[in-house]
Amino acid sequence: MYTCDKSRLEGTVNEFSSFGSTPNKGVTRLCFSQEDIEVRNYFKNCCEELGLDVVWDDMGNMYATLAGKKDIPPIVIGSHLDSVEKGGRFDGVLGVLTGLEVVKTLIDHKEEQIAPIVVMNFTNEEGARFDPAMMSSGVLANKFEKEKMLQSTDKNGMTFKEALEASGFAGHKANRLKQASAYLELHIEQGPVLESEKLEIGVVEGVLGMVCYEITITGESNHAGTTPMQLRKDPFFLATDLISAMRRELSKIDDALVFTMGRVTVTPNIHTVIPDKVVFTLEARHQDPAKIREVEEVIFDLPKEENGCKVSFEKLWSRDTVEFNEAICQHIQHACEEYNYSSKRMYSGAGHDAQFMASYIPSAMIFVPSVNGKSHCEEELTSFEDCAKGANVLLRTVLALQKSISKQELKTL
């Protein structure tokens, strides 16, 4: 049983990280920045040198195709080459480059493919320059309206449309991925679970559902020195009481529930003034929609009025849990067993292009461990040993899928 080439993969990851490299071994490759355009062209050249056919669609999503014996729906391996500001060398890019490594390995072994294999680079997965994240997989899956996305603007007032057109990667809508027999995405875990449990591979069964609310508490501003305590309508003191109480209630729901109060705004935020308004967010994620509803109950139970302050809330957004394709998860698990890699079934707490692709293509993901669970920062690291193991699992999964496709093809003869 052959494997991918670890040192070749290491070399490729290092080459790609030179585009937009930062002093501390990270990368900044915002969507359609000079660095992103350069890495796209480099990716295109690497693929064409291997004899792959490279096209891009009207959102700039790139498709590099290794022809199969039959012109049937392909097996797609994808992720993204863009990064956040001072991001890591592995987030996204590893999914594209392990895809490329799989293709190189298949070519080395003259392994004939029945279905074509497509290695994909999704445009603007991070949403770091143009909101929202996973923009282009969202357009492919009809989750986002293209016209709206084109108007998304960066902090300098440039629209996504202008950046797309200037990049040279505005292709034809006809090139969009319409059908595939499978979508596979290898990604760093971006969390500490695999490392802390000393596991090599995560078989990702889905993406956690989530909900995000904004809670507003309105009181009354006044002088910090002249207003007696009992005459104040201080929304910040009420906020701290409510936040503590909510934390206690949320902790009781389920051990697997994760929740975050990540944004707090106190107005006017002056040390000599009693605040008049506090706005904070509560975001929670869990696999089971019933647990998410329990989170919402905690919010619904907040007092409407207390200590002279008014409390209101608004749902900012939510996402249903996405379940990946079980047959593909089983192929991934078998691949781990074949190589004797330790693995576990898990859900992704973070969003990925795969969650949108799963709406119209049978999809699943492979996680590899993140050192110290760190991601979206320069310290992001996965050992090349683990990267290569992930690539091997991807390779074996592709071969297993090809096998089952050829069985089906025989049946239809």
Residues that bind Zn ion (CB under 5 A): 91-92
Least gap, CB of 192 to Zn ion (angstroms): 17
CB 97 within 8 A of CB 16: yes
- C-beta nearest to Zn ion: residue: 92
Least gap, CB of 229 to Zn ion (angstroms): 49
For Zn ion, the closer of residues 96 and 182 by Cβ is: 96
Q: How far apart are the first and last CA of the chain?
A: 30
* Residues 363, 347: Cα–Cα separation, whole Å: 13
Structure tokens at 115: 């279905």
Residue position matching structure tokens 């089983």: 330
For Zn ion, the closer of residues 57 and 91 by Cβ is: 91
CB 382 within 8 A of CB 94: yes
- Would you call 258 helix, strand, or coil by DSSP? strand
Least gap, CB of 91 to Zn ion (angstroms): 4
Q: Phi and psi for 176 in degrees, rounded to 5?
A: -60, 145
For Zn ion, the closer of residues 183 and 280 by Cβ is: 183
* Residues 78, 291: Cα–Cα separation, whole Å: 31
Least gap, CB of 93 to Zn ion (angstroms): 9
For Zn ion, the closer of residues 192 and 308 by Cβ is: 192
For Zn ion, the closer of residues 79 and 402 by Cβ is: 79
Nearest to 20 by CA among 156, 126, 168: 126
How many helices (H) and strands (E) are present in the chain, helices listed first? 12, 17
Least gap, CB of 124 to Zn ion (angstroms): 11
CB 221 within 8 A of CB 268: yes
Least gap, CB of 169 to Zn ion (angstroms): 19
CB 60 within 8 A of CB 32: yes
For Zn ion, the closer of residues 91 and 200 by Cβ is: 91
